[in-house]
Structure 1
Amino acid sequence: MIKADALPDSIRDLMVDVPDGSGYWVALSGGLDSMVLLWAAGIFFRKELDRPLYAIHINHGLSPNADHWEQFCREQCALRDIPFQAVKVDVDSAGVGLEAGARNARYNVFSSLLQSDQILLQGHHGNDQVETFLMRAIKGAGAGLAGIPRQRKLDQGMIFRPFLTVSRRELSCCAQEAGLSWIHDESNDDIEIERNYLRHQVWPTITKRWPAAQSGVLRTMALCEDYEALARDLAKGDIDSVQKTLSGWSSVFGLSAIDGALLGKLPEYRQRNVIRVWLQSLGGGFPGQARFERIWQELIPAQSAGSPQICWPEGEIRRFQGDLYFMSSAVSGGIQHCQQPEPAITFDCKGEAQSSLLRFLCVPDARRSGQDGWHCVAVVPAPRAGVRVSMVRRNEGLSSVPSGKSLKKYFQARAVPVWLRGHIPVLCYNEEGVAIPGCWSRKESEFFDQQNRMFIYVQLKTNNEPVKP
């Protein structure tokens, strides 16, 4: 019999493998695997290591029992003195189906939740791995046969899944011996859902004929993972040779880019490997085979006009002036919701201002750029006493612009991607444009205090409260 306040060696060994982080979140559905994870993490991180541990529950609102499950999770966390947060989401299943829509909604929350170096723990187990392998094999996923990754980057943090080598039966035995409670999601019984059909109808038939099938599939996945590692090693050198160096705004918006001309010099199989590994390294996952093929049909060809794009739940890839740009879904979603022109943004007495998408800070001293999402994008002469400082997103109302050009032409000349132009502001002193932070700064102005400098910091808005640098 397992003691409720002590971990068996088999579970402890799995928790020891969790990377060091600034804090830990348990993705808590209330089901068997997540309750074992909550129990194990509570003992290991809270009681033994005294590390910050929290639980997050996503209420999809798809079941009449959804609110009951949320309350169950809340009570279980209260019993263990683990801080609990529940988030209700709207599931958009249009074009992707209910299962994928629910997953997208969850990961949007997880993406905005994790702060720098925090780790989200998920309870996926060996049976989930086998189901994923079979589903992907049936649908021709190719490289995806390595299965669910044990860990991957997610915006500022990381996802880690400690139970991938453990079967559901082992977790069930552990939970029963420890006296744990859990809920049953009735949707897992619906065999109209593909994964459930595989779980309840197909897999039992396979294991009846081949009892060792699960261990065999897991060995095959391990071999696929080895080949994946070889492909990643090859891609690293290729990515270094084709990746573009972008301006300071790429750090603000999280952009990454591949030089299309240099990519085109590689054989096509290495091009595919580069794009796949590049997207995975940026947290973009795999866009699916159909979308992946569209990259070569719509984005790579030299004759492609305009700025075509391909979107999937984790992000999007665009072509601009022959190069490929990746942007995470968290950033692209924010940009899509901030398309309308905004009035001038005036700085307060603390040197702070914000638009619907960005936060700004103008201070007289250098601070640590990159800390908590803040980036120094420009250093300009400070304003003279009494001068009004503001930011604008359009050139209306400016008394002058660089070289007499419109902002559109200025951005075109400097290859600023179209979808960012409306969000890169102009710094104004008394309505005169004196700088486009990170791009251009006026050398002289009657409003300048030439004896002092001003550092302009920018932070992309998220659902987390900002922390000043």
Structure 2
Amino acid sequence: MSTLPRALNEALHGLAPHLPLAVAFSGGADSTALLLACWQRWPQQVAAIHVNHGLQEAAAGFEAFARQFCTARGIPLHIEYPHARHASGESPEDAARKARYAALARGVQALNQAQTLPQPIASIALAQHADDQVETLLLALSRGAGLPGLAAMPRQWERNGLLWLRPWLTVPGPQLRHWLQQQGQNWVEDPSNLDLHYTRNRIRHRIVPVLEQAFPAFRQTLARSSAHAQQAQQILEEVAQADLAVVGVPPSIRALQALSAPRQANVLRHWLKQHHGIAAQHRQMQELQRQIMACTTRGHQIHLKIANGHVQRHNAWLHWLTSSPA
């Protein structure tokens, strides 16, 4: 087995305390580099999960490559076939992303039930790299996102009882492909990555090359900006938790009126996200705050659609109620 380049070796260093782990393995260059590097470093401590959405003709080729790659190296592989139906108002891309994360969590459960590794898997590694982080940040800027969007992708987080890790976030995508070529290792190209109808692809093929020419260190500097946004967002969440303890659940309208407009918006977003799993759009939040501040009489009503439900006034408090299906 070959020695990993220093940058890749350092990126993988944080995975060691979380072994054994599963790798989300699509068969593309980034996940192939991740799985190959992890297998070279920890050959008996790694399994793979392949998610076949069946959304494009190339899906069968990706699955076949994943099977061949893992069989040749004795890597345990589990394949999931999720149904990514999108709800009304939800983009197919968002639906596929949510279905993928749920499928990966199910994959870990299946691998553990099959006892494919000496110990249960509690961590899963994803292959997004530094260029993906740049694209995510620029996409957020193009949409006028707030701090959660500008924070881009976290390096690690917990969900569904698993620790999710992105070791490649400091590694440029071209460096991963170069290493694979040095290994004589092929991968599968996703044909949708060349479709310029997708905003992310236009950023990748048109904007990133210009940034690289004008600002060679753009990956590092934009990563620092995202890290600053992550820290600021954490502070806002701590403030929101403290404010929510004062305004209550459900929130008291009078207590909300006593807050400044920014803190009011902050605690309302926190309440909606933490207790109802939804997010208000910018204009919806502005209108909700306007109605809250105008609510000075007993008969004043609040009824505003947010996500798949409505925020309503009930006596002295706000409630969010899901809409009944037609």
Same fold (TM over 0.5): yes
Residues in 1 aligned to 2:268 and 2:42: alpha-carbon distance in whole angstroms:
37
Is 1:101 aligned to 2:95, yes or no? yes
1:29 is aligned to 2:23: no
| Structure with the larger RCO, 1 or 2 (CA within 8 Å, 6+ apart) | 2
Match of 2:207, SS?
helix
Q: Which residue of 2 aligns with 1:211?
A: 216
Following the alignment from structure 2 to structure 1, what is the Cα–Cα distance between the partners of residues 134 and 226?
A: 9
Alpha-carbon offset, residue 69 of structure 1: 0.6
- Whole-angstrom distance in 2 between the partners of 1:182 and 1:80: 15
Q: Is the 8 A contact 1:22 1:117 kept in 2?
A: yes
- Structure-1 separation of matches of 2:135 and 2:240: 28
Q: Secondary structure at the match of 2:144?
A: coil
TM-score normalised according to structure 1 size: 0.55
Asked whether 1:42 is paired with 2:36, we answer no
* Correspondence 1:81 to 2:63: no
Matched with 1:272 is 265
Unaligned runs of 5+ in 1: 245-257, 328-334, 337-469
Residue of structure 1 equivalent to 2:199: 194
How far is 1:106 from its partner?
A: 1.5
2:233 aligns with: 228
Counterpart amino acid of residue 22 in structure 2: W
1:160 to 147, 160, 165: 165
Change (3 A) 1:208 1:8: closer
Structure showing the higher strand proportion among its residues: 1
- Cα drift, residue 277 of structure 1: 5.0
2:27 counterpart letter in structure 1: G
Indicate if the aligned counterparts of 2:135 and 2:203 stay in contact, CA closer than 8 A: yes
Structure 1 293/12 Cα, relative in aligned 2: closer, same or farther at 3 Å? farther
Q: Is the 1:309–1:319 contact (alpha carbons within 8 Å) kept by the matching residues of 2?
A: no
Matched residue of 1:56: which SS? Answer: strand
Q: Which residue in 1 is equivalent to 2:134? A: 130
Residue of structure 2 equivalent to 1:145: 150
Amino acid at match of 2:228: L
Contact 1:91/1:102 (<8 A) preserved: yes
Cα distance in 2, alignment partners of residues 23 and 326 from structure 1: 42
The Cα shift of 1:117 comes to: 8.3
Indicate the residue corresponding to 2:113 in structure 1: none
SS at match of 1:196: helix
RMSD, aligned CA:
3.8
Partner of 1:439 in structure 2?
none
**What is aligned with 1:171?**
176
Distance 2:67 2:273 in 1: 34
Q: How many residue pairs align between the two structures?
A: 305
> What is the CA–CA distance in structure 2 between the aligned matches of 1:159 and 1:291, rounded to whole Å?
32
Equivalent residues in 2 for 1:12-27 (5 A)?
A: 12-18=9-15, 20-21=17-18, 24-27=21-24
More helix by share: 2
Change (3 A) 1:209 1:78: same
Change (3 A) 1:83 1:290: farther
Where do residues 245-324 of structure 1 align in structure 2 (5 Å cutoff)? 258-261=250-253, 262-276=255-269, 284=277, 289=282, 296=289, 303-304=301-302, 310-311=307-308, 321=314, 322-323=317-318
| Structure 2: distance between partners of 1:114 and 1:292 | 38
1:193 and 1:296 mapped to 2: Cα distance?
Answer: 34
For 1:317 and 1:111, the matched residues in 2 are separated by 31
Q: Distance in 1 between matches of 2:319 and 2:121?
A: 28
Q: Secondary structure at the match of 1:147?
A: coil
Q: Which runs of 5+ in 2 are unaligned?
A: 110-119
Identity between Structure 1 and Structure 2 (%): 29
Question: Does structure 1 residue 58 correspond to structure 2 residue 63?
Answer: no
**Whole-Å Cα distance in 1 between the matches of residues 32 and 92 of structure 2?**
24
Report how far residue 296 of structure 1 moved. Answer: 4.7
Contact conserved, 2:284 with 2:306, CA < 8 A, in 1?
no
Structure 2 residue identity aligned to 1:197: R
**How far apart, CA to CA, are the structure 2 residues paired with 1:57 and 1:290?**
39
